A and B are shown apart, each in its own frame.
Chain A
Amino acid sequence: KQEVTQIPAALSVPEGENLVLNCSFTDSAIYNLQWFRQDPGKGLTSLLLIQSSQREQTSGRLNASLDKSSGRSTLYIAASQPGDSATYLCAATPGTYKYIFGTGTRLKVLA
C-alpha cells in the first residue's frame, strides 16, 4: 500500500531564504507526483506535476524533482517571500487515477 510522508510538518524561515520541502513515498511504481499549495480555508492549487518519465519540473521560483528509485520528491523554493506562506502537499499516483496525499508541510516565511 502506497504511503506518502512529508517532513517537516512545519517550517519557519526568514524572507529571502532558499528552501527545500521533502516528500517520500513507499512504492516507486507511480505514474506521476503532483505538488499543491493550500492557503488557510481554501482549496488546493496545483503547482507542479512530474510524470514518472521526468526528473524535474520548473515554474518560476519553484523546482520539483523526482527520484523514483529512492522514493523521493523535493520542492525547491528560491528566494522565499511572505506570500509563499501556505501548506504544501504532495500526492503520488500509485498506478490508477487516484492520488495518495501526504499530510503536508506548513510553511511560514517571515518578513
Chain B
Amino acid sequence: DAEITQSPRHKITETGRQVTLACHQTWNHNNMFWYRQDLGHGLRLIHYSYGVHDTNKGEVSDGYSVSRSNTEDLPLTLESAASSQTSVYFCASSELPESSSYEQYFGPGTRLTVT
C-alpha cells in the first residue's frame, strides 16, 4: 500500500545545529508539504513543492529550507536549530489537480526538541 513515512520519529538536538527531517512518499504525488503543529496555532505551512526542482515558502518558512530532487522525497532542513523550532513536524502529499480533489495524506509526524 502507498504511504508517507517520516524519519526520525523523535529527535533531540542542540541550539545551533543543522537538522534534516526526512519525508518519503510512495503515492507518486507531485505535491508535497511540510507543516509544523504547535499548541494554540494548529498546523502551519512551512514549505511546499509542486514537483521536482520546485519549492515554495509557506507562512512560517524562516529558518527552514527544502529541496526536491525526485518525486518521492522532500527533506526539511533546519539551518541552525532554535528553541522556537521545538514542535511536531508533519509531511503531507496530495494528488494532481486533474483529480479535482487535492486530498492530502499525512505522515506520522516527527517530534523535534531543541535544547
A residues near B, CB below 8 A?
31-32, 34, 36, 42-46, 49, 51, 89, 91, 93, 97-99, 101-104
Contact A49 B40 (CB under 8 A): no
Q: List 12 A-B contacts (CB under 8 A).
A: A31-B102, A34-B104, A43-B106, A43-B109, A46-B105, A89-B42, A89-B43, A97-B48, A97-B102, A101-B43, A103-B42, A104-B42
4 further interface pairs, Cβ-Cβ under 8 Å (given A97-B31, A102-B42): A34-B104, A45-B106, A46-B103, A51-B100
How many pairs, one residue from A and one from B, have CB atoms within 8 Å of each other in the complex? 54
Contact A32 B41 (CB under 8 A): no
> Could you say which residues of chain B place their CB within 8 Å of the CB of A104?
42
Closest 7 CB pairs of A and B: A103-B42, A44-B106, A101-B43, A43-B108, A101-B42, A43-B106, A97-B31
A98 and B45 in contact (CB under 8 A), knowing A31-B102, A32-B102? yes
Tell me how far the C-beta of A61 lies from the nearest C-beta in chain B, rounded to whole angstroms: 20
Contact A43 B48 (CB under 8 A): no
Contact A91 B104 (CB under 8 A): yes
Q: Does B58 contact A (CB under 8 A)?
A: yes
Within 8 A of A (CB), among B69-115: 90, 92, 94, 97, 100-109
Tell me how far the C-beta of A7 lies from the nearest C-beta in chain B, rounded to whole angstroms: 13
Who on chain A is nearest to B109 by CB?
Answer: A43
Number of residues of chain B lying within 8 A (CB) of chain A: 26
> Could you say which residues of chain B place their CB within 8 Å of the CB of A103?
40-42
Who on chain B is nearest to A36 by CB?
Answer: B106
Question: With A and B bound together, what is the CA distance between A29 and B107 in angstroms?
Answer: 28
A42 and B42 in contact (CB under 8 A), knowing A97-B31, A97-B50? no
> Could you say which residues of chain A place their CB within 8 Å of the CB of B41?
103
Question: With A and B bound together, what is the CA distance between A91 and B101 in angstroms?
Answer: 13
Q: Could you mark each residue 12-32 of chain B with 1 if its beta carbon is under 8 Å from any beta carbon of chain A, else 0?
A: 000000000000000000010
CB contact between A93 and one of B35, B48, B102 (< 8 Å): that residue = B102
Question: With A and B bound together, what is the CA distance between A42 and B6 in angstroms?
Answer: 12
Contact B58 A98 (CB under 8 A): yes
